[in-house]
Amino acid sequence: MQGETLPSVSVIGLGYIGLPTAAVIARAGMHVHGVDVSQAVVDTINRGEIHIEEVDLDGLVQGVVQRGLLRAGTEVEPADVFLIAVPTPFHKDGEHTPDVSYVLAAAESVAKVLKAGDTIILESTSPVGTTEQLRDAIAAARPDLALPGLDGKEHRLSDFHGRRVLLNFWASWCGPCLDEMPALARAQAKFGEQGAIVVGIAMDEPARARQFLAAHPVGYPILLGRLDSPSTSLRLGNVGEVLPYSVLLDGNGRILDARRGALDAATLEHWLAPPAAP
């Protein structure tokens, strides 16, 4: 991974599986945020101590906490990779029915901070179909991660995985947005497949966006943003909900840069140009 930025990791559930895993990942140099519902567990780890018995784990945890690589908390924070290590006990129904409510509670807390391109790993020993349940729970909690296109189909930002993406938020009533769009289309055409892909997100009534695009086609994909709060642009950092607003995502969907207002020519060129060869 030399020359690459190491991902940040969140480990949810800091017991016999979660804590050693978090400590080993932190020892490899990644910043790890451990999450547990138990304040006592969190406090113990933040002191550089451990609450479980595991050979040599005490020194390892003490070291990574001292180096600032492992922190613990009770609330999930944004990260690039989420590892869920909460229990899946049996229901006390005499049938040994697995209780996946802990996994689904963890999924709900991850959904709040999830962004396009993040990875979720389920470590919990759980019945077949639990990952699908987890996926569906997250999709229901975060419909903004998939947006309808003008074609009426749902598109996921992760569809562009591997390519840098310039998300440009616009609306048909926003003059500076409309002034900026031809420049985006020209820059996209100039760099083609090699550069970042431009994706327009219409923060508008779908009929108005369609009407505008019928008269002024742009040649790059347009998705329909969600207007209800928190809107798609707010989810991607547009706190003032100013338009136009642009975000540059890396090939893993991580935000590299964001600008309110129209992009100047130099920034547009810089964002869209293929990354320089190492």
Ligand X SMILES: NC(=O)c1ccc[n+]([C@@H]2O[C@H](COP(=O)([O-])OP(=O)(O)OC[C@H]3O[C@@H](n4cnc5c(N)ncnc54)[C@H](O)[C@@H]3O)[C@@H](O)[C@H]2O)c1
Residue in 8, 38, 62, 133 binding ligand X, rule: CB under 6 A:
38
- Is 123 one of the binding residues for ligand X (CB under 6 A)? yes
Answer whether 160's CB lies under 8 Å from 199's CB: yes
Minimum gap (Å) between residue 109 Cβ and ligand X: 6
Residue in 9, 11, 12, 61 binding ligand X, rule: CB under 6 A:
12
Is the peptide bond preceding residue 221 cis, with omega within 30 degrees of 0?
no
Minimum gap (Å) between residue 40 Cβ and ligand X: 9
Q: How far is CA 19 from the centre of its chain?
A: 23
Overall residue count recorded for the chain in this entry: 278
Answer whether 277's CB lies under 8 Å from 194's CB: no
Whole-number Å distance between alpha carbons of 236 and 222: 16
How many residues touch ligand X under the rule CB under 6 A: the total is 22
Minimum gap (Å) between residue 23 Cβ and ligand X: 13
- Is 57 one of the binding residues for ligand X (CB under 6 A)? no
Answer whether 76's CB lies under 8 Å from 10's CB: yes
From 15-23, 54-62, 139-147, 259-267, span contacting ligand X (CB under 6 A): 15-23
Answer whether 150's CB lies under 8 Å from 222's CB: yes
- Is 146 one of the binding residues for ligand X (CB under 6 A)? no
Q: Which residue intervals of 28-91 are DSSP H helices?
A: 39-46, 57-66
Residue in 9, 11, 13, 249 binding ligand X, rule: CB under 6 A:
13
- Is 106 one of the binding residues for ligand X (CB under 6 A)? yes
| Residues 16 to 35 in contact with ligand X, rule: CB under 6 A | 16-18, 35
- Is 137 one of the binding residues for ligand X (CB under 6 A)? no
- Is 83 one of the binding residues for ligand X (CB under 6 A)? no
- Is 87 one of the binding residues for ligand X (CB under 6 A)? yes
Residue in 9, 36, 65, 166 binding ligand X, rule: CB under 6 A:
36
256, two tokens: 């590299």
Minimum gap (Å) between residue 95 Cβ and ligand X: 18
Toward ligand X, which CB reaches closer, 130 or 168?
130
Whole-number Å distance between alpha carbons of 12 and 136: 19
Which of 51-73 are b and which e, b meaning 16 or more Cβ less than 10 Å from the residue's Cβ? beeeeebeebbbebbeeebbbbe
Query: Which letter does DSSP use for residue 158 in this model?
Result: G
- Is 39 one of the binding residues for ligand X (CB under 6 A)? no
Whole-number Å distance between alpha carbons of 216 and 38: 56
- Is 11 one of the binding residues for ligand X (CB under 6 A)? no
- Is 178 one of the binding residues for ligand X (CB under 6 A)? no
- Number of helices (H), then strands (E), belonging to the chain: the values are 9, 12
Residue in 50, 60, 85, 268 binding ligand X, rule: CB under 6 A:
85
Minimum gap (Å) between residue 111 Cβ and ligand X: 12
Residues that bind ligand X (CB under 6 A): 12-18, 35-38, 41, 85-88, 102, 105-106, 123-125
